[in-house]
Structure 1
C-alpha cells in the first residue's frame, strides 16, 4: 500500500458467510458459504493492494472469519448487530479513534472482480465532499466515502438515489470491477467474465454443474 496523497481506511461489512448470499438460488448451502467467503477474501485482497489505502477495517460478528481476514492484513471490529448502516457508522467511529488522519470509505464485501486500479481511480476523485459509486444497474451503491464528520451512509434499497439525495456526488467512470457486486448467479457470471480473484475463481469452478458457465 503506497503512502501518496489522501490515505484511506476501507470499511467492509461482512455477514457471516453461512447466512449470506441467499439469492444464489440453486447453489447448495455449503457452496454458497464458500462463495460468500471467497467474495470477501478477494475484495479485501484487492483493497490491500490499492495505492491510497492505508488500512482495511472489516466489521463482522463472525470471529472465525474475522481471523481469516486479519490474516490477510486487514483489521477487524464487531458490527454491533444493529443493521448495515449503523454498523458502518460504528466502524467509522472506531476507525476515527484508531486512525484519525485517514478518510473512511465504506465498500461492499461482494466485489470479487475488484481491481486495485479501479478502486484507486475512484478514491483519487473522491477527496472532497461525500461521494459514492453506483453499481452496474445504477440503483445500488458499492462504495461511499466522506470525511469522518460527514460520514452518513445510506446503503439499502435504491441506495444510489438515497446517497444522491443526501448530497453525495456520484463518481463517474467505467470502474467495472468496482461496480459489479454479486447477488445472484447472473451477476456472478458477469463478474467472472470481468475476471475475479483467485478465491472466487476456485469457488466458482465447483459450480460447473449449474446452467451456464461460471468459469473461463
Structure 2
C-alpha cells in the first residue's frame, strides 16, 4: 500500500472484513451443509472475497477482523492484515474496532466494510461501487435481498457508524448514509447465508476456493 509516511494518508480504500470463528459462521447453511462442510464453506467464501478485493485497483489494503486462527493464517497468506476481534461483542463492535485499528495506523484512510461471504465478487464491480461511494461522506450498498447491507463506506475523516443487523438497509439510511443506486454490480450484492443464496452465487460464478469446496462444476 502506498501512503504518505508522515501524514498517514492511504492512497486507496482500506476494506474491513469481519469473520466469525468458522465453527459458528454460516449457521443458516446448516440445512444445505453438514457440520464439516459448513465451516469449510465459510472459509472458502472469505478466501474468495478477500482475494478478489485485493485484486481491485481501488483497494489499498484489506483488514480482516477475526479470532479464528485457521482463517487468520490463510487470509494473511493472501495479503490481508488480520486484527483480533478484541471486543467480542458482535458484528458492529468488531467493525468499529477494525476501523479504529486502521485509522490508528493511517488516520485519513477512507474505509469500507465488506461482507466476508461474497464468493462471486468481481474486482471491477467492487471498484465501481467504491468509486460511487467516494462521492458521499458515507454510503452503503444494499444486498440482493433488498433489506441487508454488503458494503458500508466512510470517506477520509468520516466515522464509519456501522448499524448491521435486522433490516440494516433502513438502519444505515437512518444513520445518514447514502444508498448507492447502481446496476451491474451483482457480485457485490450476493452474499451467501442460505443454500438458495449459494445456488445464486454459483450461477454468477464463484471463486476457486468456493468452487472446489462446494464441489460445483465450473461455469
Segments of 5+ residues of structure 1 without an aligned counterpart are: 207-213
Residues 124 and 2 (structure 1), Cα distance of their counterparts in 2 relative to 1, 3 Å cut: farther
Q: Say which of 155, 167, 188 aligns to 2:198.
A: 188
Q: Which region of structure 1 is more displaced relative to structure 2, 114-123 or 142-151? A: 142-151
Partner of 1:210: none
Partner of 1:123: 130
Contact 1:115 1:177 in 2 (8 A): yes
Q: Say which of 22, 25, 31 aligns to 2:27.
A: 22
Q: CA deviation at 1:26?
A: 3.6
- Whether 1:146 and 2:154 are equivalent positions in the alignment is yes
Partner of 1:197: 207
Q: CA deviation at 1:19?
A: 1.3
Partner of 2:57: 51
Q: Residues of 2 paired with 1:73 and 1:98: CA distance? A: 17
Contact 1:2 1:51 in 2 (8 A): no
Contact 2:2 2:11 in 1 (8 A): no
Contact 2:16 2:113 in 1 (8 A): yes
- Which runs of structure 2 are paired with 1:170-181 in the superposition (5 Å)? 170-174=179-183, 175-181=185-191
Q: CA deviation at 1:203?
A: 1.0
Q: Residues of 2 paired with 1:164 and 1:133: CA distance? A: 11
Q: CA deviation at 1:6?
A: 5.7
Contact 1:204 1:215 in 2 (8 A): no
Contact 2:12 2:58 in 1 (8 A): yes
If the length of structure 1 is used for normalisation, what is the TM-score? 0.91
After superposition, give the CA deviation of every residue in 1:117-168 in whole Å (9 maximum; x if it has no partner): 1110000011131000000111000000113542101111100111011111
Q: Residues of 2 paired with 1:90 and 1:26: CA distance? A: 32
Q: Say which of 4, 8, 11 aligns to 2:13.
A: 8
After superposition, give the CA deviation of every residue in 1:6-61 in whole Å (9 maximum; x if it has no partner): 61100000111121111111411111111101000000001100011111000001
SS where residue 154 of structure 1 aligns?
coil
Segments of 5+ residues of structure 2 without an aligned counterpart are: 4-9
Q: Residues of 2 paired with 1:26 and 1:76: CA distance? A: 29
The two structures, once aligned, show a CA RMSD in angstroms of 1.8
Q: Residues of 2 paired with 1:39 and 1:143: CA distance? A: 16
Q: CA deviation at 1:2?
A: 9.2
- Which runs of structure 2 are paired with 1:44-193 in the superposition (5 Å)? 44-80=50-86, 81-127=88-134, 128-147=136-155, 148-174=157-183, 175-193=185-203
Q: Say which of 35, 38, 44 aligns to 1:38.
A: 44
If the length of structure 2 is used for normalisation, what is the TM-score? 0.90
Q: Residues of 2 paired with 1:38 and 1:91: CA distance? A: 22
